[in-house]
Each structure stands twice: as structure tokens, then as C-alpha cells.
Amino acid sequence: MSEHIVSTKIYFAIFTALLVLTASTVAVASVDLGRLNTIVALTIAVTKAVLVILYFMHVRYSSRLTWVVVSAGFVWLGILIAFTMSDVLTRGWLAAH
């Protein structure tokens, strides 16, 4: 499974995609889109990270167990941020009473 050899063509294609995405995130950042700026920047960053994880880090060709472990890492990251923000952003609700 981890023996799968990815062709260099794919590596260069991913590399090119990463450069294009970097250029676009810099270009979009100078345009005022309001709240969308953050969403676009994060969408591009997540896309780049997924490309690196799947191809450079070979997760696409790894065992199901590796998939589970990698996903778990990001699920817990999401839990940490979501639960923390659900506290921070709702503190004002109590003061209003």
C-alpha cells in the first residue's frame, strides 16, 4: 500500500496547482470582499493542505487506518475551535439580561 509509487508528473502537477493557489490567494486578498475575504483565503488554504496531504504525503494511497487517524486529527481541531468559539461568542448573551 505505502509501496505505491506516484509518478513525478503528478508531483509537478500538484506543485503547479499549489503555486497557482498561492498567487490567487495573494491576489484576492487585496480586493475588499468583506467577510468573504476570510472564507476565500481559508478555502484556498484548505485546498492546498488537502493536495499536500493526499499526494505529497501519500495519504491517498495509504491504508484505511491512516485515513482514520489523519481525519481524527482534523476533527479534533474542529471540535477545539468550534466549542471554544461557542463559548466566546455567546458570553454577551448573558449580560443582556
Q: Write out the residues near other proteins by the rule CB under 8 A.
A: 1-3, 5-6, 8, 11-12, 14-15, 18-19, 22, 25-26, 29-33, 37-38, 41-42, 44-45, 48-49, 52-53, 55-58, 62-63, 65-66, 69-70, 72-74, 76-77, 80-81, 84-85, 88-89
> According to DSSP H, which parts of the chain are helical?
8-29, 36-51, 64-88, 91-95
Judge contact between 34 and 41, C-beta under 8 A.
no
**Nearer of residues 65 and 94 to other proteins, judged by Cβ:** 65
